[in-house]
Structure 1
Amino acid sequence: MNINVVYFARYREAMGMDGEELNGTFATLEDVRQELLERGGNWSVLGEANLMCACNQDLCKLDEPVADGDEVAFFPPVTGG
């Protein structure tokens, strides 16, 4: 399965890239996140409890199913004043 992973805000800065294509076997966004966390180092920011995510530009939770060709996005929570 190929999925496109996109990183936003400080996650993009931590990874040093806007996104990437990821190949593997994933059932949910959590599976994708775990694959990335296994890289260690800067990727540990994806382990934050308040991480936000989207699948195909729709906000969702980590238990969201993923399919071949999906776009997955990870971003920190947005705050405002």
Structure 2
Amino acid sequence: MARVLLFGRLADQAGWREREVEAGSLAALRASIANDDAALAEALEGPGVQVAVDKALVRGEAVLAAATEVAFLPPMSGG
């Protein structure tokens, strides 16, 4: 099971900040989230949202091991 973390407005929209999800890949994890909450899945695909797998930013696909941590990070602003 992957440990999924949401931050900022993504957590506010979902109504949760941390959840365990059974998925062997980032694509499967996204599909599982979309199955449960289409609006959240759309927000996770939004501009500026970054994904970190085990604290390393990734682009595209990633394989998830049993104890992988996946964090969805909303766009940052500030100066």
Q: TM-score, normalised by structure 2?
A: 0.81
Give, in whole Å, the separation in 1 of the partners of 2:71 and 2:60: 11
Mapping of residues 1-81 of structure 1, within 5 Å: 2-24=1-23, 26-27=24-25, 29-43=26-40, 44-81=42-79
Structure 1 moving runs of 4+ over 6 Å: none
Give the secondary structure class of the aligned counterpart of 1:38: helix
Give 1:10 shift.
0.5
- Asked whether the equivalents of residues 3 and 70 of structure 1 are also in contact (C-alpha less than 8 Å), the reply is yes
Give a deviation string over 1:42-76, Cα, whole Å, max 9, x none: 42312324321001111112312211110011111
In the alignment, structure 2 segments of 5+ residues that lack a partner are none
In the alignment, structure 1 segments of 5+ residues that lack a partner are none
Q: TM-score, normalised by structure 1?
A: 0.79
